[in-house]
Structure 1
Amino acid sequence: MLRALEALAAAARRGTVADVLVNGNAELAAAVSAALAAAPAGSGPLQLRVWSLALGDKAHCWNEYVHRLWPGTGTTFFIDGYVRVRPDALQALEAALAAEPQALAAAGLPSTGRGAAALRAAMEREGGLHGNLHALRADTLHALRHMGLRLPLGVYRTDGIVGAVLSFGLDPARHDWEPRRHIALARDASWDTEPQRWWRWQDLRTQWRRLDRQAQGVLENRAVSDWLARHRRPAQALPATVERLVSLWAAEDPRALAAALAQDGRRRRAWERLQSPRDWSAARQPPALLFDGTKVAG
């Protein structure tokens, strides 16, 4: 994570405030905070705040930031913790928003890694939002707050849900699906990640878990599409958890579920796991602020 913050510092303007949300890993949050506290005051362009969230869940992390931590002003950049943004990435996102004033958000495009070329081509062709790097206008975030959008806890494809809501202009009952209109593509905004090595056990385990989460993500996507595109239901009425989201879709369209499960054993295992709801009580614990660089004298 520290390497990602170093890359962000190289891409950011002086005075930029960055909130670092560490979810479900109190030791990592403490270590990052200690490293930042030991750095010389005012030594970099970023004013960093480090928050520790008890629940290890990306959707909860998004919900807490948007509804509790977002300061309420300015374009906001969403960057995954393992991503090293390139030096001109943030400016490219801002330029894309300036060039397309009707857009609610701007998305960076992948340029390295397995599948990056195919995904980039798909985004160029169809539009969309990439979770590793994108930006939302302040007006967009105010609208999401006002409408009360909260992502279902446990969803893997958080960017897929946010991108879908944006693609419907925030209201599927009133607007058609237009991702190219509502999400500007910042073609020069990209990032790097640490390459995985097939001979490292940790990388193999990470890839195995990612494949499992992607299988669940397929079921999530079908359920969200059914909710927004088929039934035109309001996004803010999405079920509170991924278990409830997918179960409602399965009950309403069992044939679609059966077809999805028949295609992939991982999807069947994901469906089985979703039959055992998780304990989400940790979501009630507020974020803990461990480090506040905005109050460090320069």
Structure 2
Amino acid sequence: MPLTRRADATEAGLCAVAVFARNEAERIGPCLRALARCEAAPRLHVTLLLNGTTDGSAAVAERVMEKEGLAGAIYDIAYGDKSHAMNLFLHQLRPSAAHYAMIDGYAEVEPPALDRLAAALRRRPDALAAAAVPRTGRSAAALRQQMLDYPGLHGSLFMLRGEFVERLVAAGIRLPRNLYRGDGLIGSLVMHDLDALGGGWVTERVVVEGEASWTVPPAAPWRCRDVRRVARRMLQQGRGRLQTAALRELIYAGGFPSLPEDADRMVLDWIAADPEARTPALQRDPFARLALALMRQARPEPSPSELEPRLLAARPG
């Protein structure tokens, strides 16, 4: 049994926060300190999920949570996959709460953001999720406008209504392992209200709160870590384009119960069914083509122990 605070969902204002991080020792401290500065901090329960982390993030996070007085728990998952970590949080590790916020471990939440997301859900009883917008970055203004024009969720910060999460879990819906855009699939689950075949695509089920924001430090082209991060993101985006195309066809044929266990295997099967039409052209999408080559390399299945969360620390609220 996790040593986390358990709370009834009717507890006034409780917000459970899931922070997902992989080798973010430099950024996890600022991320957690930003949560401690939030107006909602006294009502937060923070679950930090370190997936495939080997850089000492856990020790940094434990010191910061202790110093800042943040209630919650830190888990280590050997398998480095955010979508799997999201499944663990939703189905196994979350406390009962009125709202659930999802945050990337390199982002810093601005102080009023969580309260503003929760307030947006209170104002809009028809909405199942609330999305925050970026404040910094070269593409922040364009992304912010895009989200306002075409509502959707961004993985760096969004909030789900507790009642929706309970229904998602009761339906047994899990994200495929190795899915790059897990937030995109959650957005689809929200827009369809868990029914891809009969629920329609209703954008009003997501409210984009333009006054709730997060920040990230700018990438520096002279820092090797930032160059590697950008290159990895471009490769992952190519992988994500393939996964999204295959996933869209699958769920509109069989609904969300047809979600596969592994997103990469789904792509390989999808391409094998029509390789001439579905194999990405090298000159048009070189990153997707490279991602496909990597998918085709044989990889061992993760062992049960690699997939299990290991409790590292807990701070009761």
What is the TM-score when the length of structure 1 is the normalising length?
A: 0.90
Q: Which residue of 1 aligns with 2:308?
A: 286
8 Å CA contact 2:32–2:64 kept in 1: the answer is no
Greater Cα offset, 7-16 or 131-140: 7-16
C-alpha RMSD over aligned residues: 2.0
Distance 1:260 1:187, change over 3 A: farther
Say if 2:107 is the partner of 1:83: yes
Distance 1:20 1:253, change over 3 A: same
Query: 244, 253, 278: which is aligned to 1:221?
Result: 244
Matched residues in 1 for 2:59 and 2:162: separation? 31
Matched residues in 1 for 2:117 and 2:62: separation? 31
Say if 2:129 is the partner of 1:105: yes
8 Å CA contact 1:110–1:190 kept in 2: the answer is yes
Letter of the structure 1 residue corresponding to residue 29 of structure 2: L
Query: 34, 49, 53: which is aligned to 1:7?
Result: 34
Say if 2:148 is the partner of 1:124: yes
Gaps of 5+ in 1: none
Greater Cα offset, 248-257 or 137-146: 248-257
SS in 1 for 2:229: helix
Say if 2:198 is the partner of 1:174: yes
The correspondence of residues 1-298 of structure 1 with structure 2, limited to 5 A, is: 1-11=28-38, 12-32=40-60, 34-36=62-64, 39=67, 44=69, 46-178=70-202, 180-229=203-252, 231=253, 233-254=254-275, 256-258=277-279, 263-282=284-303, 284=305, 285-294=307-316
Matched residues in 2 for 1:13 and 1:57: separation? 28
SS in 1 for 2:207: strand
Matched residues in 2 for 1:74 and 1:154: separation? 29
8 Å CA contact 1:55–1:283 kept in 2: the answer is no
Q: Which structure has greater helix proportion?
A: 1
Greater Cα offset, 259-268 or 184-193: 259-268
Matched residues in 1 for 2:275 and 2:176: separation? 21
Matched residues in 1 for 2:66 and 2:119: separation? 35
Distance 1:174 1:252, change over 3 A: farther
Letter of the structure 2 residue corresponding to residue 23 of structure 1: N
SS in 1 for 2:212: coil
SS in 2 for 1:64: helix
What's the CA shift string for 1:217-255, capped at 9, x where partnerless?
1111111211224x2x22132111122221233244545
Greater Cα offset, 281-290 or 87-96: 281-290
Q: CA deviation at 1:34?
A: 4.6
Q: How many residues align?
A: 288
Matched residues in 2 for 1:34 and 1:127: separation? 35
Q: CA deviation at 1:282?
A: 4.0
Matched residues in 2 for 1:260 and 1:239: separation? 25
Q: Which structure has greater strand proportion?
A: 2
Letter of the structure 2 residue corresponding to residue 214 of structure 1: Q
SS in 1 for 2:189: helix
Distance 1:126 1:23, change over 3 A: same
Q: CA deviation at 1:138?
A: 0.9
Sequence identity percentage:
35
Gaps of 5+ in 2: 1-27
8 Å CA contact 1:33–1:291 kept in 2: the answer is no
Matched residues in 1 for 2:174 and 2:30: separation? 30
Q: CA deviation at 1:27?
A: 4.8
Q: CA deviation at 1:156?
A: 1.1
Matched residues in 2 for 1:101 and 1:288: separation? 36
Matched residues in 2 for 1:47 and 1:111: separation? 27
What is the TM-score when the length of structure 2 is the normalising length?
A: 0.85
Matched residues in 2 for 1:49 and 1:148: separation? 24
Q: CA deviation at 1:32?
A: 2.8
